[in-house]
Amino acid sequence: MRFLGSWFRDRISLVIIDEAHKVNFDQDWPSLQKAENRTLRLESIGTRILTYLDETESRIMALSAVASGIDDALAQWVSNNIEATPERTPYRSTRQLIGRLECLPGGRFKVFYDLMDGDDLEFEEGVEGKPFVPTPLPALPPTTSDWSGTQKRFRPYLFWAAMHLAQRHENRQQHAVLISVTQRIGGYAKDFLTLLESDWAGIEKPNFFVPPDISSPEYGVWQNCLKACEDYFSSQSREYRLLQHGVVVHHGKMPGPLARLLVKVIEAGSVRLVLATSTLTEGVNLPFETVLIPNLRRYDEGKKRWVRLTPQEFNNLVGRAGRPGFGTEGQSLVLVGFWDNRQRGDYSYLTGELVKRKLNEAGLAQSPLAELIARIEQLWREISGSTDDREFQHWLETTAPLKEDLESEEKTDLVESLDTLDSVLLSAIVELKQIAHEELSAEEMEARLRRIWQHSYARYAVMGHFL
């Protein structure tokens, strides 16, 4: 659009927005302020394209498997019709279970299943409780390292369970297991290595990994992956040493070529145990039979504290369980310890919200663009001391980031947020000029920008007086 203008626009006949739910704000305030937020990028480019194509006969489709609660807002956004409704299908290629992996005293385990395909699981009428597996795994072997701390205490249970769930069975069947962590994956990788190479070095472990045979078609990809990992991270790195043990570590700082090789190794079935952040669970279509979730909180840089995952984030995460074509069922298990009531409370809240959404489809749709402007307004009010809406609007129309003196952290945040808003507007301005084939007057440009503004996801999600 930016470089070819109408020449490109007039040749588009169909636009498909996959994973359309990702336009909904993900609560990542630091990345929103710094213009690095994925939801803002999708809203910005999506809104511009949808607006430009209003004048053509192009068709537009938005797809999502986890848009429950915000699907009405998505349908209205892509159609530019406030009365539009989405097409829904109840079809599922696999059955999806959500449950708790209870970590009990003495290293014992117990599994309770609470939801199936978003519905509450219960025994027949008159019988209390939930379906459960009394002894799903062998007891945890002793360890010598210090595992004190609420979250760290989970890790021996987590890795022992992961190895057993990914082990090869007598019929040669093997399940793919994802350990999904919200942040700080390095600590998990370090502790997994400690257990494999130290605490559990002398005990018999589950047979969850066998290196590809030299005669197998997977051997070449496996060797290339090992060499690339050693080249990028060194032979002493946690990534390389875990890969030798049959564990893929995938995170946001992974170089692109290596990340693609790791995905190939997983797809080929050479490795069945993956430790990853959302860079894999959100960015690549790699379903797993089992998703293990050790923590339901992430660190919010803006609030400077740990916050609970949103129901949408949790729904996206558990949606990765299940491998169509390989099995009929996928399970997501949240680790819950007898020592940690907070995790239990977070789990109860999030599963309860999923059931509510399934029942009434009610959810809060949030626009990253609207949230950005609301954040700018909040910072402006804190600095100026004014509550006058017109005064804010006048300031927003006339100010520029370079005009502001940076005297405080609030002003720095405000200028950074303004700069992000400018980047959204400038992208639209450049493209509008290209499409127009002529120099637009200020009035014409304002009218076209207003049209884009009114077509934004913000109109159908969180609405405010600034819209």
CATH label of the domain that carries residue 308: 3.40.50
- 226 within a domain of the structure (yes/no): no
The pTM (predicted TM-score) of the whole model is 0.74
> Three-state DSSP class for 298?
strand
pLDDT value of position 360 = 55
Each residue's pLDDT tens digit, 235-270 = 999 999 999 999 999 887 788 888 888 888 888 888
Co-location of 58 and 184 in the same domain: no
Does residue 431 belong to any structural domain of this protein?
yes
Q: What is the pLDDT of residues 77-120, one digit of tens each?
A: 999 888 999 998 877 778 889 999 999 999 999 999 999 988 88
Please indicate, yes or no, whether residues 342 and 370 belong to a single structural domain of this protein. no
Mean pLDDT, the chain, rounded, equals 86
User: 38: how many CB neighbours lie within 10 A of its CB?
Assistant: 16
Domain extent at residue 127: 95-208+272-360
Quick check: is 99 in a domain?
A: yes
DSSP 3-state of 276: strand
User: Residue 306 pLDDT > 50, yes or no?
Assistant: yes
Q: Buried (b) or exposed (e) across 109-119, using 16+ Cβ within 10 A?
A: bbbbbbbbebe
Residue 240 lies in a domain: no
Q: What are the pLDDT digits (tens) for 407-459?
A: 667 788 888 999 999 999 999 998 888 888 778 888 998 899 888 988 899 88
113 - beta bridge partners?
99
Q: Are 282 and 299 found together in one domain?
A: yes
Residue 340 pLDDT: 86
Asked if residue 158 belongs to a domain, the reply is yes
Instruction: Give the domain-ending residue among 360, 392, 419.
Output: 360
Strands 290-293 and 329-337: parallel
Which of 242, 234, 237 lies closest to 273, judged by CA? 242
- Among 116, 146, 152, 147, residue whose Cα is nearest residue 131: 116
Closest C-alpha among 208, 104, 212 to residue 165: 208
Residue pointed to by tokens 């992430």: 298
165 and 296 housed in the same domain: yes
Indicate the number of domains in the chain.
Answer: 2
The least confident of 39-53, 271-285, 323-337 is 271-285
Name every residue whose Cβ is closer than 8 Å to that of residue 288 and which is 6 or more positions away in sequence: 175, 176, 177, 178, 274, 320, 321, 322, 323, 330
| pLDDT at 127 exceeding the cut of 80 | no
* Co-location of 325 and 405 in the same domain: no
User: Of 301, 325, 360, which closes a domain?
Assistant: 360
Asked if residue 297 and residue 171 are part of one domain, the reply reads: yes
Q: Which of 337, 360, 383 is the last residue of a domain?
A: 360
What is the C-alpha to C-alpha distance for residues 248 and 231, in angstroms, rounded to an integer?
Answer: 16
Residue 336 and residue 329: Cα distance in Å, rounded?
22
Whether 228 is in a domain gets the answer no
286 and 355 fall within a common domain = yes
Q: Which two tokens stand for residue 399?
A: 């100010």
Cβ-proximal residues to 84 (8 Å cutoff; 6+ apart), any chain: 72, 75, 76
